[in-house]
Chain A
Amino acid sequence: MSYETVILEKKGERVAHITLNRPEKLNAINDVMMRDLKAALQEVEKDTETWVVVIKGMGESFSTGEDLSLKWPSDVMTPPPKERWFLSELWESEMRKSNFWQYIYDFPRFTIAQIHGHCLGWGCFLAMVCRTSIASEDAVFGDPSIRAGFTSLNPLWTWKVGVRKARELLFTGKYIDGREAARLGLITIAVPKEKLEEEVDLAVESLIIGTPIGGFDSESFDMIFGRTAFDISGLAAAWGYATNVHALSAIQRRGFEPGEFDFFEARERLGMKGAIEERDRPFKELGF
């Protein structure tokens, strides 16, 4: 099947590649891409011959994350302060997001994120929910949500990088490069840019060669066991709680304090690019 915002290709008997395909928007994720990505994965899921899925980005970046030009109602963008929303509508939207990420996290095949260029916000989520993430050393990671007053709806931050670094990253929205992301455990490894594709191919090959030893069924057991072990140690509750808190941060009904950055107001005034620039300026001046 063909999709509007992703390309699904079979590469050989065992491997599928899903390419995020909005290069002119640096693969910013909108509602259509959310649906397309899920549909493409569901298509792969039906094809039991495919054991490995590589997720990558077309053009100069993996993904800059949420498409910040979107307007409510949208699953990607939350309602602006003072917008009238319905709890059912907001809650359903939050649950769709949470289920979307958990679907990829639980995907019953090997998933590999191949990351270059920008990998921000939801781009990081995508890197965290894949089983293996391989990035070029100069890739840029970060989740600047807090700069606009939002929390991360993904609980995996603390699981991947530990509580200290999760706080540092999420409280400042700072950007880090691929090398640092690998050091912190946000991704699996970082390699020189020109080696990226080669390294991903190598990972794919080794999974395909290694898997038949027990057969893919035994791999599935391993995946189910892995998920259960994390759920027992609290990850299941953490997904739920992160969703709640994200919904809360989305509906700041009192709006922002004077002097606090209001992304929605800035976007009206300056357009999306201008608003992002204004959002990041004070942080850039401080070296973040």
Chain B
Amino acid sequence: MDYDHIKYDLTGRIGVVTLNRPDSRNVMNDQMIAELDDLLRKVETELDAKVLVIKGAGECFSIGQDLSGEGTAAIMAPPPGTPAPAKEILEEERRRSRRLEYIFNFPKPTIAQVHGQCIGLGCYLAMLCDIVIASHDAVFADPGLRMGCVSAMPLWTWLVGVKKAREIVYLGSDINAVEAERIGLINLAVPADKLEQEVHRYAKAISTCPGDGLALCKESINANLESRGVGTAWRFLDTIHLINQQQPFDPDEFNFFKVRDKKGLEEAMRERDKPFKDLGF
């Protein structure tokens, strides 16, 4: 299987997907997500892989979606306030959330192996995995709201509870691995030099279990969330996003997209994060 932005290896019964854009810290664009989608659909029916590990090449897991505005039409809505037909935006939102739900309900156990930054869509990808094991240097965050974009991840409340979820999405600040373990965002934080080994230990143990049982076990656990309304939460987010997209910025609000187009991405990011940094977040 040949891909540009990801890599797939099968070792024994363990499939390993590597996000493979190390030069740009595995930033995600339409192509990477399409490749991931394509790969998962192939691995789904491939009997050899009983468990799937997802990790990032280079210095981190992923810094999330590409905010440059290039090549991300499928994974990011146009900036808030951009005139666009509601029907189109809603359809796009549905496609986006279905893609994430597909990973969440993938009929084989998935393990995210996280090191370094794990931000935005990268963080979502880790959250969709059944088990997350991170090295102590890992950093999680969902900073969308700093740009006026509502978080696209309903699982926050399920994983870390309502209070923490609010704090995380309101502030968009970094969560270190130890804190992430404490609040239930991840399963385990381990020293960086033990990460690979620990993930392998879990993957190996899980792949020892009968495959049919694993699929059903996952189905049973996910059904628990379904009966508590997680499906409705995804649907609800689609419309929230639609509203979010149609709402223009107030003149005195920080408009990330305008600053980006005028001064470039790096400067826009700096301006976005500065007031929060000043407050110690």
What is A's interface to B at a CB cutoff of 8 Å? 145-152, 155, 157-159, 162-168, 170-174, 233-238, 241-242, 245-246, 248-249, 252, 254, 256-257, 260-261, 282-283, 286-288
Known: A171-B206, A238-B223, A242-B220. Contact between A249 and B212, CB under 8 A? yes
Known: A171-B206, A282-B205. Contact between A246 and B221, CB under 8 A? no
- Asked if A163 and B224 make an inter-chain contact with CB atoms under 8 angstroms apart, the answer reads yes
Q: How many angstroms between the C-alpha atoms of A162 and B228 in the bound complex?
A: 12
Q: How many angstroms between the C-alpha atoms of A174 and B187 in the bound complex?
A: 14
- Asked if A149 and B220 make an inter-chain contact with CB atoms under 8 angstroms apart, the answer reads no
Q: Which B residues lie within 8 Å of A146 (CB)?
A: 209-210, 213-214, 217
- Asked if B210 and A171 make an inter-chain contact with CB atoms under 8 angstroms apart, the answer reads no
B114-152 interface bits toward A, Cβ cutoff 8 Å, 1 = contact, 0 = none: 000000000000000011100000000000000000000
| B: contact size bracket | 35 or more
What is B's interface to A at a CB cutoff of 8 Å? 47, 109, 130-132, 158-159, 184-187, 201-202, 204-206, 208-214, 216-221, 223-229
- Asked if A234 and B228 make an inter-chain contact with CB atoms under 8 angstroms apart, the answer reads yes
- Asked if B208 and A261 make an inter-chain contact with CB atoms under 8 angstroms apart, the answer reads yes
Q: Which A residues lie within 8 Å of B228 (CB)?
A: 233-234, 238
Q: Which B residues lie within 8 Å of A283 (CB)?
A: 205, 208
- Asked if B216 and A151 make an inter-chain contact with CB atoms under 8 angstroms apart, the answer reads yes
Q: Which A residues lie within 8 Å of B187 (CB)?
A: 164-165, 168
Q: Which A residues lie within 8 Å of B131 (CB)?
A: 164, 167-168, 171
- Counting chain A CB atoms within 10 Å of each CB, the highest count among B130, B159, B187, B227 belongs to B227
Q: What is the CB-to-nearest-CB distance from B236 to chain A, in angstroms, rounded to a whole number?
A: 16
Q: What is the CB-to-nearest-CB distance from A173 to chain B, in angstroms, rounded to a whole number?
A: 7
9 tightest A-B contacts by CB?
A149-B210, A234-B227, A149-B213, A237-B227, A234-B228, A245-B220, A158-B224, A241-B223, A151-B217
Q: How many angstroms between the C-alpha atoms of A152 and B187 in the bound complex?
A: 20
**Would you call the interface of chain A mostly helix, strand, loop, or mixed?**
helix
- Counting chain B CB atoms within 10 Å of each CB, the highest count among A148, A164, A237, A238 belongs to A164
- Asked if B221 and A286 make an inter-chain contact with CB atoms under 8 angstroms apart, the answer reads no
Known: A157-B221, A159-B224, A237-B227. Contact between A149 and B186, CB under 8 A? no
5 more contacts with CB within 8 A, not counting A167-B109, A173-B209, are A146-B210, A158-B225, A234-B227, A241-B227, A260-B211
Q: How many angstroms between the C-alpha atoms of A145 and B213 in the bound complex?
A: 9
Q: Which B residues lie within 8 Å of A145 (CB)?
A: 213
Q: How many angstroms between the C-alpha atoms of A67 and B261 in the bound complex?
A: 68
Q: Which A residues lie within 8 Å of B208 (CB)?
A: 147, 261, 282-283
Q: Which of A150, A164, A168, A235 meets B159, CB within 8 Å? A: A164
- Asked if B212 and A252 make an inter-chain contact with CB atoms under 8 angstroms apart, the answer reads yes
Q: How many angstroms between the C-alpha atoms of A283 and B209 in the bound complex?
A: 10
- Asked if A261 and B220 make an inter-chain contact with CB atoms under 8 angstroms apart, the answer reads no
Q: Which A residues lie within 8 Å of B221 (CB)?
A: 157-158, 163, 166-167, 170
Q: Which B residues lie within 8 Å of A282 (CB)?
A: 205, 208
- Asked if B210 and A238 make an inter-chain contact with CB atoms under 8 angstroms apart, the answer reads no
Q: What is the CB-to-nearest-CB distance from B228 to chain A, in angstroms, rounded to a whole number?
A: 4
Please name the residue on chain A nearest to B185 by beta carbon: A164
- Asked if B225 and A151 make an inter-chain contact with CB atoms under 8 angstroms apart, the answer reads no
Q: Which B residues lie within 8 Å of A170 (CB)?
A: 217, 221
Q: Which B residues lie within 8 Å of A252 (CB)?
A: 210, 212-213
